[in-house]
Structure 1
Amino acid sequence: MAAERLVVIGGDAAGMSAASQARRFKGPEELEIVAFERGDFASYSACGIPYWVGGDVERRDDLVARTPQEHRERAIDLRMRTEVLEIDTDRRRVRARDLDSGSETWTGFDKLVIATGARPVRPPLPGIDAPGVHGVQTLGDGQALIETLTRTSGGGRAVVVGAGYIGVEMAEALLKRGYEVTVLHRDEQPMATLDPDMGRLVHEAMDGLGITTVGAAAVTKILTGDDGRVRAVATDGAEYPADVVVLGIGVRPETALAEAAGLPLGPHGGLLTDLSMRVRGHEDIWAGGDCVEVLDLITGTTRHIALGTHANKHGQIIGANVGGDYGTFPGVVGTAVSKVCDREIARTGLREKDARAAGLQYVSATIESTGTAGYLPGARLMTVKMLAERRTGRLLGVQIVGGEGAAKRVDIAAVALTARMTVEQMTALDLGYAPPFSPVWDPVLVAARKATAAVRRAGW
């Protein structure tokens, strides 16, 4: 009996995790695996690019988890620099082009995995494609940026457009390379993934580093010099000189192929799947990673979250299902962490505006505490904000900004959200304690106590 063929579109986290996991269940005599990747690298950490640019990671290859050759040694036919142009679901085949030779071929499939990732938002502004303007989505993007920075070595002026996770991380990386850094963003405060009162703490941290942060600043054009290279970024009210510009505006699901093939998309443009990551309505097509929408366990709606943690989990589940085993991905609560210098930033669950949009009434509580016993030298402050449903006391979200040890405390809240705990139930959690690690009352529990009191005052 001939082996089935699995075709994978996308050679990074979700795609190659799916291929590798499927191979663990079925050998080459049972399952042929062909994977297409249009870029120059496979199985790498895009999240590590800011730290490579900033010099914390020494070599590009340190970010590569598994090379194409290592995949091939595991009987996965990984075809690099090969872009899939069309999915024919009726005839169960894909059309791909070799980017070096230009030749095109059709490849049939019995099972298909779509892991096309996300594309960076690149608004159609005048000058947006000028030399010196960079995105940071792929290792190739990071390499191009480093080459620009090397050309202007010794420092210069850098403008970062966008103040989300990637924008804040890139601002710090550029600062480490000796650049004078300005961050432009549309919102009231940086880190719009936080409520404005918590974003203000990030703003203060960036100011303390010497990063200029300009809010309510919509970019209108990129200005270029006589040599065609970027020289400034213009907003409605000002111009900001720049030797290099980094775009950190966010990403959208890369689903043009899927849409053209008639596959179902959600309100955020991502592919819709069932719990097994199978594309809805298509028995032998799966999708995972940044190109899909996932279930929000708090609101019951779908959302798009581009994170490598989810992509790897999706790939493991898809590979198991393709290989004859069983797995599901139940959903997310929206946990994310970052940092700017020594200020750690974390969130999970809903912001205030998310709760309002979902029709939830809520109370909030904000506390300030230290990450260790306050009497120890070097105890660092952190601010914890907690949202709870008004009548039930169910935890809805947590945001944390503070010194060392702040960010990973959000994991306590992520577990509590997944378990649908109330804030009162959280106050009884048996968390670890010793003076070097926490006060007697951990900051998360202090916030839970204050939120419990707020729920009671609201009429629980």
Structure 2
Amino acid sequence: MVIGGDAAGMSAASQARRLRGPDELEIVAFERGHFTSYSACGIPYWVGGEVDGPDRLIARTPEEHRTRHIDLRTRTEVTEIDVAGRRVRARDVDSGAASWTSYDKLVIATGARPVRPDLPGADAPGVHGVQTLDDGQALLDTLARARGRRAVVVGAGYIGVEMAEALIHRGYEVTVVNRGREPMSTLDPDMGRLVHKAMEGLGITMVNDTGVTEVRTGGDGRASAVVTADAVYPADVVVLGIGVTPETSLARAAGLPVGGHGGLLTDRAMRVRGHADIWAGGDCVEVLDLVSGQLRHIALGTHANKHGQVIGTNAGGGYATFPGVVGTAVSKVCDLEIARTGLREKDARRVGLEFVAVTIESTSRAGYYPDASPMTVKMLAERRTGKLLGVQIVGREGAGKRVDIAAVALTAGMTVEQMTALDLGYAPPFSPVWDPVLVAARKAARAVEESG
């Protein structure tokens, strides 16, 4: 039995079906929405009109899953897990009818939900979180009937930044209200400043170091403005980009173990700790950070699909494990590419690591080649050992995916000195003779040596 019909849940169901036929293993999956196996990461680009949706964002429809002998029940919400009785209670969203269904093996893939601040008006019509395709459609419906063209985005993480750009593409006047010093708190502030400048270049008004105190509503009860301690920002639509939190209310109520970030705790086989026949994966779990050695909550489809493969293999009678992550992510603002992996400065300090940090300026291609664009690379290395701790990259075309070099180096436990000898591809249209990542590694290696 699978609770949740997106990446982790349906990857698990599909993988289990590949290993075991319908005569050997019955698979039942519950999904409270209309859609399954879709790319939530593509929603900002759908809203912005860059890609069609929602059909283009769906990897596999409910009907396609059913043809593979998976009993997929959409518009059905699980409301209770009875661990002792090995059963779940599910309710038909449209009719309200509810019933219990027994399981032998349970997969929890309930995902995450957008953070809604506990403020007056935060739940008013016209205030949107964006996590599912249904959320995306609801936002588009609001945009279609909005009387004005003013939007306020609360928060400047990945979703906040991407939604701000999407609304600019829709012709809206956009203000981003951000509690942090700079946008993209997944970066150090000096790198976030580069993102700030790019957003202002798009015509987005950035309001940093400011918290929201209220979402004001009009006579029709709909959101009309976002209020801070210092100002009032009129809004015809409000989008929440504060982030997400694991959706573990069902698991908590069932007494399953939850970590400090609110996500379910699992072993390397993705089994819920202490429960041999219950697995969990995707945005509702915490994962091991291979660099810090700490548990983290990272909501990304890449991890969710890998979790599903591991779970489906194990539930189907095979064996697989998920080792952990290094925290790699990429995004963009217009043509500015933003990438990071590993630890930020404050992450390293929090886990007691002493480090050197270097920043270099380079170009995406050989300097003499047409359209070479600037690129900023920041690199952290452990002070004594020179072990790579983290990399952040901000630049134009060719910047974002360069972070994958660092992600591999982190996973392999390489030092920055070892990185300087990496045999990377070179030709003037693709890179300077010294790739920007290697330039940063050389500077970091010198800093480690000078630090004693």
Give the TM-score, by structure 1 length: 0.97
What is the alpha-carbon distance in structure 2 between the residues aligned to residue 302 and residue 419 of structure 1?
19
SS at match of 1:216: coil
The alpha carbon displacement at 1:139 in A equals 0.6
Return structure 1 stretches of 4+ with deviation > 2 angstroms. none
The alpha carbon displacement at 1:210 in A equals 0.9
What is the alpha-carbon distance in structure 1 between the residues aligned to residue 33 and residue 179 of structure 2?
31
Map 1:352-371; keep pairs closer than 5 Å: 352-371=345-364
2:119 alignment partner in structure 1: 125
2:20 alignment partner in structure 1: 26
1:134 alignment partner in structure 2: 128
The alpha carbon displacement at 1:350 in A equals 0.2
Aligned to 1:405, which of 386, 395, 398? 398
What is the alpha-carbon distance in structure 2 between the residues aligned to residue 144 and residue 28 of structure 1?
37
1:385 alignment partner in structure 2: 378
The alpha carbon displacement at 1:349 in A equals 0.2
1:234 alignment partner in structure 2: 227
What is the alpha-carbon distance in structure 1 between the residues aligned to residue 177 and residue 94 of structure 2?
38
What is the alpha-carbon distance in structure 2 between the residues aligned to residue 179 and residue 327 of structure 1?
47
- Identify which range, 443-452 or 126-135, moves more after superposition: 126-135
Give the residue type in structure 2 aligned to 1:420.
Answer: G
- 1:63 maps to 2:46: no
SS at match of 1:317: helix
The alpha carbon displacement at 1:59 in A equals 2.7
SS at match of 1:375: coil
SS at match of 1:32: coil
Report Cα offsets for 1:295-341 as digits up to 9, x if no partner.
Answer: 01011111000000000000001001111111110000000000000
What is the alpha-carbon distance in structure 1 between the residues aligned to residue 384 and residue 122 of structure 2?
49
1:272 alignment partner in structure 2: 265
1:148 alignment partner in structure 2: 142
What is the alpha-carbon distance in structure 1 between the residues aligned to residue 224 and residue 270 of structure 2?
46
SS at match of 2:165: helix
Unmatched 5+ stretches in structure 2:
none
SS at match of 1:146: helix
The alpha carbon displacement at 1:89 in A equals 1.1
What is the alpha-carbon distance in structure 2 between the residues aligned to residue 118 and residue 243 of structure 1?
26
- Identify which range, 228-237 or 282-291, moves more after superposition: 228-237
Report Cα offsets for 1:66-104 as digits up to 9, x if no partner.
Answer: 111111110000001111111111111111111111111
1:428 alignment partner in structure 2: 421
Unmatched 5+ stretches in structure 1:
1-6
Aligned to 2:89, which of 95, 108, 121? 95
1:374 alignment partner in structure 2: 367
When the two chains are superposed, the root-mean-square deviation of aligned CA atoms in Å is 0.9
SS at match of 1:274: coil
Give the residue type in structure 2 aligned to 1:208.
Answer: G
1:12 alignment partner in structure 2: 6
SS at match of 2:80: strand
Report Cα offsets for 1:179-223 as digits up to 9, x if no partner.
Answer: 111101100000000000000000011111111111011000011
What is the alpha-carbon distance in structure 1 between the residues aligned to residue 315 and residue 380 of structure 2?
40
1:262 alignment partner in structure 2: 255
Report how many residues are paired: 452
2:451 alignment partner in structure 1: 458
What is the alpha-carbon distance in structure 1 between the residues aligned to residue 226 and residue 375 of structure 2?
35
SS at match of 2:238: strand
What is the alpha-carbon distance in structure 1 between the residues aligned to residue 221 and residue 284 of structure 2?
34
- 1:351 maps to 2:337: no
SS at match of 2:349: helix
SS at match of 2:397: coil
Map 1:286-305; keep pairs closer than 5 Å: 286-305=279-298
What is the alpha-carbon distance in structure 2 between the residues aligned to residue 396 and residue 33 of structure 1?
42
What is the alpha-carbon distance in structure 2 between the residues aligned to residue 172 and residue 448 of structure 1?
33
Report Cα offsets for 1:262-313 as digits up to 9, x if no partner.
Answer: 1111111111111110111111110000000000101111100000000000
- 1:51 maps to 2:45: yes
SS at match of 2:317: coil
What is the alpha-carbon distance in structure 1 between the residues aligned to residue 17 and residue 220 of structure 2?
51
The alpha carbon displacement at 1:369 in A equals 0.4
SS at match of 2:200: helix
Identity %: 78
- 1:77 maps to 2:71: yes
- Identify which range, 378-387 or 143-152, moves more after superposition: 143-152
1:109 alignment partner in structure 2: 103
2:216 alignment partner in structure 1: 223
Give the residue type in structure 1 aligned to 2:111.
Answer: G
2:430 alignment partner in structure 1: 437
What is the alpha-carbon distance in structure 2 between the residues aligned to residue 59 and residue 279 of structure 1?
35
1:3 alignment partner in structure 2: none
Aligned to 1:323, which of 310, 316, 319? 316
1:36 alignment partner in structure 2: 30
1:247 alignment partner in structure 2: 240
Give the TM-score, by structure 2 length: 0.99
SS at match of 2:161: helix
What is the alpha-carbon distance in structure 1 between the residues aligned to residue 111 and residue 349 of structure 2?
30
Map 1:300-311; keep pairs closer than 5 Å: 300-311=293-304
- Identify which range, 122-131 or 176-185, moves more after superposition: 122-131
The alpha carbon displacement at 1:228 in A equals 1.9
